[in-house]
Structure 1
Amino acid sequence: MVDVNQHELVPEHTLIDEEEVESVLQQYDTERANLPKIKRKDPALPDEAEIGDVVKIVRDSRTTDRAVSYRLVIE
């Protein structure tokens, strides 16, 4: 089976801890439920991702070199 995380077009997906989640939510003045969603079955997620976790996604960007986004793992 192919590991999609090793593909060059799949951005880096990293689970973040609760302390960093709280920092991100304060920075963007939002709540966890308002974050964009990602399904638990998404093959790009780390195996240890659970429903309710927040994932940091780092993509290459033409304008800012790196673009960081956050997603809430849902069922």
Structure 2
Amino acid sequence: MDVSEHTLVPEHTLIDEEDLDEVLEEYDIKRTDLPKIKRTDPAIPDEAEVGDVVKIVRESRTTDRAVVYRLVID
């Protein structure tokens, strides 16, 4: 079974460098300041590599949807 297709797993997508630069600038942080996610996590896209950043969109009762970013690590 493909875990990423399960209804309870939020959407995980890789973001490109241009979009990442905007996010880092908006929050005034560095890439390494982002929370981490392991490369072996079954929910992240197969093409994700160490050093990439994954955008995770979750449903939220208070804000309709919540967007978080995670740095892929070993």
CA distance in 2, matches of 1:5, 1:39: 15
Normalized against structure 2, the TM-score is what?
Answer: 0.99
Normalized against structure 1, the TM-score is what?
Answer: 0.97
Map 1:1-75; keep pairs closer than 5 Å: 2-75=1-74
The count of corresponding residues between Structure 1 and Structure 2 is 74
- State the superposition RMSD in angstroms: 0.4
Tell me the secondary structure at the aligned position of residue 26 of structure 1: helix
Structure 1 gap segments, 5+ residues each: none
Q: Deviations over 1:15-46 (max 9, x none)?
A: 00000010000011100000000000000010
Structure 2 gap segments, 5+ residues each: none
Identity of aligned residues (%): 73
Moved over 3 A (4+): none
